[in-house]
Amino acid sequence: MKFGTLAACLSLALGASASFAQTTTLKIGYATTKESHYGVGSTVFCDEVEKGTQGRYKCQQFPNSALGGEREQIEAVQLGTQDLVNTSTGPVGNFVPEVKIVDIPFLFRDYDHARKVMDGPIGQDILAKFPSKGIIALGWTENGFRHMTNSKRDIVKPSDAAGLKMRTMENKVHMDGYRTFGILPTPMAFPELFGALQQGTVDGQENPIPVILSSKFAQVQNHLSLTGHVYSPALLLLSPKVWNKLSDADKKVFLEAAQKAGAAQRKKVNEDEANGIAQLEKAGMKVTRKVDGDAFREALKPAYVGYAKEFGADNIKKISDVK
């Protein structure tokens, strides 16, 4: 081999190994399948990061709670043993208390209202609280409005839900609200839920349509009531260990990727809301569409007294007043 050719080969080899050495693979986890809304949002985020950093950062996705429940994954991100998590706000209030306000039942009128709050000053102020708790919140994604499923009966009004053992997230705001409906809240990590429903350890659960669909809950639940009792935002959280190593240009790439991920995740939620109920009916679920929302709101009044003390009536009103 001629010297010039050898030099060119060496140069190529060195270049390839240098670029290979510069690639950092980030671990991102979430609770549901790769085909779910979380999977869609996470894939868009990963693609945008890889493109924006010219392949210097890539992601390895861990769907289906492969890295643990949401609370465990948030802890791992805080500790720096996991890079990213796409998580519902359910357990986040245990780490950043300011998040809890958005988990109040019947706080949001509809998706338009909820998304305006998250994207506006209120939502952005909440994101700014994360770094002091050792977590970087890159942006809001979405889980969706939560509905109740169970194996016993249709739920039209709170008294229909009374006495049901309902799996909830480890979230005091949710649990306080559900108790006013007569529900027996049973906190449980998401990976344990399908088995618990199958065995009858709990009678029901509450989640958005995209989760009910992707988790195949129709196999273990007969009744779906479109209660829409809580809007469930979600977040893309990053370990400060990663964030602190990023250049300003790369930080911008990560933040913009999170915005695009949030938009894609919301779009998938919209699609699942539009098509998913018919799919669940086809799978054998009986769907109660007309729920007495006023009766649920009335039942919730005692819990709202506690929420006003904890979060400030003015802060709750600020969210309600967003148009």
Residues 299-319, mean pLDDT to the nearest whole number: 96
Residue 245's pLDDT band (cuts 50, 70, 90): very high
Residue 4's pLDDT band (cuts 50, 70, 90): low
Average pLDDT for the chain: 94
The answer to whether the CB of 147 falls within 8 A of the CB of 252 is no
Residues 178-184, mean pLDDT to the nearest whole number: 96
Residues 144 and 146: their CA atoms lie apart, in Å, by 6
Residue 10's pLDDT band (cuts 50, 70, 90): very low
The closest of 195, 237, 210, 285 to 89, measured between CA atoms, is 237
Residue 314's pLDDT band (cuts 50, 70, 90): very high
Type of residue found at 131: P
Residue 19 has pLDDT above 70, yes or no: no
pLDDT score at 170: 86
Contacts of 20 (CB under 8 A, 6+ apart): none
Angle (nearest 5°) at CA 111 between 105 and 114: 60
Domains, the chain, in order of start with CATH, read: 22-321 (3.40.190.170)
pTM over 0.75: yes
Residues 148 and 89: their CA atoms lie apart, in Å, by 18
